[in-house]
Chain A
């Protein structure tokens, strides 16, 4: 695609903002705004709005987070705002609730913050809008370029695992934006978590750019830059505190929601079967009991386990989830299932604890410290028990109808 933004283009909203500090080849081929009639009196109706910016191009829209264009020797780079708008914050909030998560991205390419020139640093990031927003919001006082890779709208860490935040994409993107012409130095700053996908040596060999490994978290970028591009040891460490865990809960819940609703319906239908073959009264009464216990299991696995991850016993997530499951489902089952005896009680606890254990095991994917060898080991060890508990639980629950 030949879409390199070259001239003719200029002064978007206000030409005064245009910066070309330190760049010699600023020879803008300016289309003067279509001469506004000397007398501005509109022929009819309300006064006309402003003329289109020369940066606007047919079929493209200028993104709301772009507040101008910076001239480089290789063309214009959109300058992005470093304050997030209400709209940015709102859409990032929705993404945390798993709304539009797969389409929350920005176009890959070269962006600018502040008034960068040929000696300004270049920070590389992913094209997940949430990531991009974090990065730009921590560059309030910086003059820098941001090189956004096409990670298919996925964060740096996960994209590095899939190699979309990878050597090949980085090398191609450096060439595509002609970075060696934009800046006079040969350094690029990468987030440390991108190292799982990018070989610094290979990038150097192919493009001449040296990779400087930046901090893990974008909030440390200002002090990293202030310290002369050095990340202190604490900036190299991953953290996974309570807030960082809880923010993941809505997505975990929304992923669990669909199978949970289906399981709930299936369990309610099973609950209807009894001595008189099928009873709608039982379907509702027993169904509500089963549903409440199942819900407790879902909460135990997808909310309680992430929240108390460091307090729950065991190194297997499945065990942590089972413990959380027992803690939450026993009181729930006791509160609801008295009329269905010990078999009903045990049946519901077995099923719901297995659900909690399973959901907890799935939380491994959202944590930054589980190894694939470990996850595979715990899955192989735990799944027979989880499946066994569900089967046994269902049998006990069905039996409880024939007391």
Chain B
């Protein structure tokens, strides 16, 4: 996936290293290898690779990672503008991305 890069400096991901226990869950679940474990703690090594799926934050035992998760889909975002985030669905006719 290194040949596909999306817009830089937009991701909302935040790692608080002081809260990290170095379990490595984030490194395992991230499909874009944003994290690595170094010196017993997680570190962000590819910030712009993050697509804000939220897997790391959801699986972090100490809530050391924060990200505003969501779906990177234009059709979905339009719906959040029109109908609000609760009623939005991706794709027309209740289908999906």
Contacts and interface: CB of A to CB of B under 8 A. Distances in A.
B91 A255 contact: yes
Interface in A314-352: 315-316
Interface string B24-67: 01001101110000000000000001111111001101000000
Q: How large is the interface on A (under 10, 10 to 19, 20 to 34, 35 or more residues)?
A: 35 or more
| Most chain A CB atoms below 10 A, which of B1, B8, B53, B75 | B53
Contact of B74 (A196, A362, A368): A362
A364 B77 CA distance: 11
A236 B29 CA distance: 8
Interface stretch (A32-40, A82-90, A198-206, A394-402): A198-206
Contacts of A176: none
Contacts of A372: 52, 68-73, 76-77
Interface residues of B, number: 45
B7 to A, nearest CB: 4
Contacts, number: 141
A238 B59 contact: no
Nearest to B33: A237
B92 A255 contact: yes
Interface string A138-173: 000000000000000011001111100000000000
| Most chain B CB atoms below 10 A, which of A155, A159, A367 | A367
B96 interface: yes
B32 A238 contact: yes
Contacts of B77: 372, 375-376, 379
A366 B95 CA distance: 12
A192 interface: yes
A374 B4 contact: no
Interface SS of A by simple majority:
helix
Interface SS of B by simple majority:
loop
B29 to A, nearest CB: 4
| Most chain B CB atoms below 10 A, which of A101, A237, A309, A374 | A374
Contacts of A201: 59, 61
B84 interface: no
A213 interface: yes
Contacts of B92: 255
Contacts of A310: 3-4
Interface of B: 1, 3-8, 10-12, 25, 28-29, 31-33, 49-55, 58-59, 61, 68-78, 90-97
15 contacts: A158-B90, A161-B69, A162-B96, A195-B29, A196-B54, A196-B58, A216-B31, A236-B33, A364-B74, A365-B91, A365-B97, A366-B97, A367-B4, A371-B10, A374-B7
